[in-house]
Amino acid sequence: MARFIPAGTLGRLAVVSLGPLVVACGGDKAPPPDSTDATVLKVPAETTLPAPTDGFKVPESVRYDPALDAYFISNIDGVPSNKDNNGYIVRLDAANPSAPTVVVKGGEKGVTLNAPKGMALAGDTLWVADIDAVRAFDKNTGAVLATIDLAPMGATFLNDVAIAPDGVVYVTDTGIRFSDKGEMTHPGKDRIFAIKGGKATVALEGDALLTRPNGIAWDSAGARFILAPFGGPTISAWTPGEKMVSNVATGPGSFNGVEVLGDGRILVTSWADSSLNVVSNGSLTRLAGGLDAPADIGVDTKRARAAVPLFNLGRVAYVAIPAR
CA-nearest of 115, 120, 85, 88 to 18 is 115
The model's pTM is: 0.89
**End-to-end distance of the chain based on CA atoms, in angstroms?**
35
The mean per-residue pLDDT over the stretch 62-90 comes to 98
Per residue in 233-277, pLDDT tens?
A: 999 999 999 999 999 999 999 999 999 999 999 999 999 999 999
Superfamily of domain 21-320: TolB, C-terminal domain (2.120.10.30)
**CA triple 241-223-133, angle to 5 deg:** 60
Instruction: Check residues 18 and 254 and name the one with the higher pLDDT.
Output: 254
How far CA 273 is from CA of 107, 219, 293, 294, in Å, comes to: 36, 25, 9, 10
- Residue pair 220/263 in contact (Cβ under 8 Å)? The answer is no
Q: What is the pLDDT confidence band of residue 8, given thresholds at 50, 70 and 90?
A: very low
Print the SS3 string covering 119-159.
Answer: EEEECCEEEEEEECEEEEEECCCCCEEEEEECHHHCCCCEE
